[in-house]
Amino acid sequence: MNAVEIEEAISALAERPFEADEFPYAFLEAFGNKETTLKRLRKGESNKSDLGGVLQTNNIHIAVCKPGEVTRTLAALRASPATARAKARFVLATDGDLFEAEDLSTDDAPVSCTYADFPNHFGFFLPLAGITTVKQVRESSFDIRATSRLNRLYVELLKDNPAWGTAQRRHDMNHFMARLIFCFFAEDTEIFNGSGAFTSVIEAMSAKDSFNTHKVISELFRAMNTKTTERAAAGVPRWADGFPYVNGGLFSGSTDVPRFSRIARSYLLHIGSLDWKKINPDIFGSMIQAVADDDERGALGMHYTSVPNILKVLNPLFLDDLRQQLEEADDNARMLLNLRKRMSKIRVFDPACGSGNFLVIAYKEMRAIEAEINRRRDEADRRTEIPLTNFRGIELRDFPAEIARLALIIAEYQCDVTYRGQKEALRDFLPLDAQNWITCDNALRLDWISVCPPTGTGVKHHADDLFHTPLDQPQIDFENEGGETYICGNPPYKGNADQSKDQKDDIRRCFSGIDVNWKSFDYICGWFWRASNYSKITKAKFAFVSTNSICQGQNIFYFWKPLLADGLKIEFAIRSFRWRNLATENATVTVVVVGCSREDGACFLFDNDIKQEVPQINPYLVPGDNVFVERSSRPMSSLPQMTKGNYYGLSDGLLLDEGGRVNLLERGLPPAYIRTFKGGAELVKGVQRWCLWFPQPCLPADAADIPEIALRIEAVRESRLASPDAAAIKMAERPHQFREMNDCTKWSIAIPNVSSESRPYLPVTLENRDVIFPNTAFAIYDGELFCLAIAASKLHLVWTVTVCGKLETRIRYSNTLGWNTLPVPALTQKNKADLTRCAEDILLAREAHFPATIADLYAPESMPEDLRAAHERNDEVLERIYIGRRFKNDTERLEKLFELYTKMAATPNKVTKARKVATA
């Protein structure tokens, strides 16, 4: 069950008449407990309570008590030896009137409320459903409840008004929902002169059978769109006249309202009864946007970006700088004033803003700084000088764009209440500003200068579509009157294979005319590209959360080279971290934050919250020069050649499963012609396969005489002849062989071509003389064992991930990038001997767990201790060869590797040279 489903279940429970005996089970059921679990509890089999209640091990001890005994019962539950023995996390007591509960694992305040109100605290109990909550989820209880209710209303309205769900009317539907949310908020915050005014007028004026609900709401909306002086002439009914003039675009245009069924009306009244003061615009928007998205509705209330993650972008981009200026200003009135003026001209622009969470957080943080300035200047109730219109966004989808605007309006009001008091907040709030700076459109096709000209700037040329009306941007008559612009956000990431035709077209348009291989680019590259172009004119800094793939692999060369050559620099970066929602089901992706500017000055690299100042950050997000690692056909260090396995396309007849192998042996095929065949899956998962292996130029007679062999070889020949590829047709001349016939004489060291990113090391194996490798693996034929130590090291893994890149989330290994470019210092005989011993220890540790496969052995959660220790020793020995000690972290590893790579690549006569890019 997800949080929204749980909320619905416990709300339904609270609405039912209280049944003392049934309550504990109904409560547990609402949190997803299965009927069988409840049955065992009821029978007493698994109920460990010593107080006549219900005690579920590791979870909760619940007791229903006599009226007035709730607090005493909760104390008894807390002190109960059974609670401790069963390691119950929660205790809960209720008499059906009062409800008290405590989380024994935290210092958080206990819950104490009326029974009817306990659903408002459902976030407190989410761990009961295995939902790992962080404080913020608990604090989002209201937002989840409101999301769930609005969702029900939305779905119900669409049922009754199918036309409103069509493309033509979706906007009307979304706009209607945004108006409703505003009204719910306004009626609970005095904006509508009295608590619950909106809901109670609808309840009073609309018939119970709901036939005129839409008309009543429409009249209310009309009133909010009519100035008070014009109402009499407009014929606004008396009962709607008490509502203020709101407009600001929110209530202009059609006041058409969908028709309400009885159920929809009752949902609406129910939503109105929630306490909308508690709405949190930071996250509410991201939660609610799923309501209008048929695909996302299943995960309602679960997908939103946490505030700490948003601050990972905003703080280094500009908020830290503002805070530092505040600190330096101390109580100096002039310096404080300058900072306030500076902030009033700052534009924050999110060109993929969703429901505006980055903008809302930026706004709230800036208001907090401004409030502190005003406090120090003894101007505490001064009106804000930070205009909401300085927070701009582009969003493709209609509903999030509506909600983004609303979230900003709510944030403004809440900040005014916090910093200036309710009275002042109310005085300035209405009517809303009519300008709407959240543009609903495709950011990769819009002219960003038109959407977000820097403050105080006149831009003569406007265009809706850069591509239909090409602009020579540097020609725009542009004056920046001192305002700064910061571009931020979390634009969509989509690998090339996942992009729609339109998205591919967006990317093509972005990069048309530029000599780069854009076809392999992730969709997010479009945002970096557009932001970079925008920053050329405006000097804007920008930072995006991005898939880490844009800082890995070969794209670095094609994507980053032109950007960096054009005067852009990476000013700060957060190396890979898990981007997760706070709720469960968190589809975690590994992301980076990349901040860019065109200004000189220090650069900062963040690794696990450690901030490091560095002279330069390269596009691999490593301190150092802008070096681009390119494929090398031979090892650049003194390492033996690593070869891709034998290409086995159009060779099906040469491959054998167990049955085929036994059959051919029974028919007299000499065993020497059958070899073990190990590609990626066979190496890692222990799958068994074989192949026919005839190194002789012609098929030997003792094989050719066996009819099954002849049939197989003929099938291979025919498949090759049928290919449109000339090289394949040529291969038909020797159908008994693979395209390559590489083999070892003693043994091979092998690496699969793809490997799970969660493994702590690359799965490198030592294979005996018998094994043949297809092109899903790489092999060092007859490689000395010290090579296995190097290939299985952390250094090699880190280098590989960085320079080879990924296939979806898996590491895509490449010999020409991962091995041939790996910088390894010259190794002495002693170094090699030490590394050989380390490799032997790794192999022995694996052997000790026979028959565990490589996949078993390197599962991150269950890697055997002795194997882990053998790898640690290996890393220790190898890293000492590099710097005389262990590296502190991956950043330090990469820094050293890039330093060595730069030197190695610059050495004459090397196969490949690093390309240094001139940066301005």
Ligand X SMILES: C[S@@+](CC[C@H](N)C(=O)[O-])C[C@H]1O[C@@H](n2cnc3c(N)ncnc32)[C@H](O)[C@@H]1O
Q: Which of 24, 400, 595, 635 binds ligand X (CB under 6 A)?
A: 400
> What is the C-alpha to C-alpha distance for residues 772 and 778, in angstroms, rounded to an integer?
11
Which residue's CB is nearer to ligand X, number 88 or number 543? 543
CA separation for the pair 462, 728 (Å, rounded): 55
Residue 225 interacts with ligand X (CB under 6 A)? no
Residues 269-288 that bind ligand X (CB under 6 A): 286
Q: Rank residues 492 and 660 by Cβ distance to ligand X and give the closer one.
A: 492
Beta carbons within 10 angstroms of residue 331's beta carbon: 8
CB of 545 to ligand X, least distance (A): 8
Residue nearer to ligand X on the CB measure, 491 or 595: 491
- Closer to ligand X at the Cβ: 352 or 525? 352
Smallest separation (angstroms) from ligand X to the CB of 297: 15
Which of 59, 189, 225, 305 binds ligand X (CB under 6 A)? It is: 305
Distance in angstroms (rounded) separating the CA atoms of residues 140 and 152: 19
Contacts from 693-699 at CB under 8 Å and sequence distance 24+? 693/743, 693/772, 694/736, 694/737, 695/737, 695/741, 695/743, 697/734, 698/736, 699/736
| 820 near ligand X, judged by CB under 6 A | no
Number of residues located near ligand X, criterion CB under 6 A: 19
When the beta carbons of 352 and 790 are compared against ligand X, the nearer one is 352
**Which range of residues in 150-158, 163-171, 352-360, 829-837 is near ligand X by CB under 6 A?**
352-360
726-745 residues near ligand X, rule: CB under 6 A: none
Judged by beta carbon, residue 9 or residue 388, the one nearer ligand X is 388
Amino acid at 515: D
* 33 is a contact residue toward ligand X (CB under 6 A): no
Binding window for ligand X (CB under 6 A); candidates: 442-450, 454-462, 803-811, 906-914: 442-450
147 binds ligand X (CB under 6 A): no
* Shortest separation between residue 354's beta carbon and ligand X, angstroms: 3
442 scored as a contact of ligand X (CB under 6 A): yes
For the purposes of burial, counting CB atoms within 10 Å of the CB of 865, is it exposed (0-12), middle (13-18) or buried (19 or more)? exposed
Q: Which of 119, 354, 553, 818 binds ligand X (CB under 6 A)?
A: 354
Element holding 3 (H helix, E strand): helix 3-15
Cβ closer to ligand X: 352 or 466?
A: 352
**Residue, CB closest to ligand X:** 354
Q: Quick one: which of 250, 291, 245, 242 has its CA closest to 271?
A: 291
Closest contact distance (angstroms) between CB of 592 and ligand X is 14
> Which pairing describes strands 603-607 and 569-579: parallel, antiparallel, or unpaired?
parallel
Which of 395, 607, 834, 841 touches ligand X (CB under 6 A)?
395
- 397 contributes a contact to ligand X by CB under 6 A: yes
User: What are 42's two structure tokens?
Assistant: 């009821």
Buried residues in 478-509 as b, exposed as e (16+ CB within 10 A): bebeebbbbbbbbbbbbbbeebeeebbebbeb
DSSP state of 623: B
Please name the residue that has the structure tokens 């029978």. 43
Q: What is the DSSP string of 645-688?
A: PBP-TT-GGGEE-HHHHHHHHHTT--GGGEEEE--HHHHHH---
Looking at residues 760 to 789 of the shown chain, list those that interact with ligand X (rule: CB under 6 A): none
Chain length of the chain? 920
* Interaction between residue 864 and ligand X (CB under 6 A): no
> In this chain, which stretch among 84-92, 372-380, 438-446, 672-680 interacts with ligand X, using CB under 6 A?
438-446
Of 84-92, 257-265, 391-399, 790-798: span binding ligand X (CB under 6 A):
391-399
Give dist(CA 63, CA 60) in Å, integer. Answer: 10
Q: Which is nearer to ligand X, 480 or 586 (CB)?
A: 586
Minimum Å gap between C-beta 851 and ligand X is 44
- Closest separation in Å from C-beta 408 to ligand X: 13
Helix (H, G, I), strand (E, B) or coil at 415: helix
Q: Within 13 A of 591's CA, how many CA atoms are on the CB side?
A: 25
Q: Are 878 and 789 in contact (CB under 8 A)?
A: yes
CA 813 to CA 752: how far, in whole Å? Answer: 7
637 binds ligand X (CB under 6 A): no
Q: Tell which one of 443, 531, 744, 822 touches ligand X (CB under 6 A).
A: 443
Cβ 473 to ligand X shortest distance, Å: 19
Q: How many CB atoms lie within 10 A of CB 119?
A: 22
DSSP structure string for 59-77? TEEEEE--TT-HHHHHHHH
DSSP conformation letters of 783-829:
--HHHHHHHTSHHHHHHHHHHH-EETTEEE--IIIIITT---PPPPH
Q: Is 489 in the site for ligand X (CB under 6 A)?
A: yes
Helix axes 794-804, 890-906, angle to 10 degrees: 70
- Cβ neighbours of residue 1 closer than 8 Å, sequence gap 6 or more: 9, 31, 32, 129
Q: Which is nearer to ligand X, 286 or 533 (CB)?
A: 286
Q: Which segment (80-88, 219-227, 486-494, 779-787) binds ligand X by CB under 6 A?
A: 486-494
In the bound state with ligand X, the residue whose beta carbon lies nearer, of 180 and 352, is: 352
Maximum CA pair distance of the chain?
106
Verify binding: residue 492, ligand X, rule CB under 6 A.
yes
Q: Is 293 left (phi over 0), alpha (psi -120 to 50) or beta?
A: beta
499 counts as binding ligand X under rule CB under 6 A: no
Instruction: Give the C-alpha separation, 126 to 54, whole Å.
Output: 18
What is the rounded CA–CA span in Å between residue 206 and residue 216? 6
Contact residue for ligand X among 352, 524, 550, 785 (CB under 6 A): 352
- Which tokens hold the place of 433? 């500003």
Instruction: Name which position in 124, 358, 690, 813 contacts ligand X (CB under 6 A).
Output: 358
Residue 171 beta carbon to ligand X: minimum distance, rounded to whole angstroms = 15
Single residue of 374, 490, 775, 800 touching ligand X by CB under 6 A: 490
Closest approach of ligand X to the CB of residue 756, in Å = 25
In the complex, least distance from residue 355 CB atom to ligand X, rounded to whole angstroms: 7
Please, what is the minimum distance in Å from the beta carbon of residue 778 to ligand X? Answer: 36
**Taking CB under 6 A as the rule, does residue 306 contact ligand X?**
no
Q: Which phi and psi (to 5°) does residue 581 adopt?
A: -75, 165
Shortest distance in whole angstroms from residue 610 CB to ligand X: 25
Which CB, 295 or 847, lies closer to ligand X? 295
Cis preceding-peptide flag for 851 (omega within 30 of 0): yes
Tell which positions 195-214 bind ligand X, by CB under 6 A: none
| Cα(431)–Cα(879) distance, integer angstroms | 66
Instruction: Report the residue number, 540 or 791, with the smaller CB distance to ligand X.
Output: 540
Q: Is 311 an interacting residue with respect to ligand X (CB under 6 A)?
A: no
Q: Interacting stretch for ligand X, rule CB under 6 A, among 194-202, 346-354, 381-389, 622-630?
A: 346-354
| 67-106 binders of ligand X (CB under 6 A) | none
| Residues ≥6 apart with Cβ < 8 Å to 279 | 142, 143, 146, 185, 410
Among 13-21, 325-333, 390-398, 889-897, which window interacts with ligand X (CB under 6 A)? 390-398
Least distance CB 582 / ligand X (angstroms): 12
Which H helix or E strand runs over 533?
helix 525-538
Query: Does 357 help bind ligand X (rule: CB under 6 A)?
Result: yes
Give the nearest distance from C-beta 144 to ligand X in angstroms: 16
Interface with ligand X (CB under 6 A):
286, 305, 352-354, 357-358, 394-397, 400, 442-444, 489-492
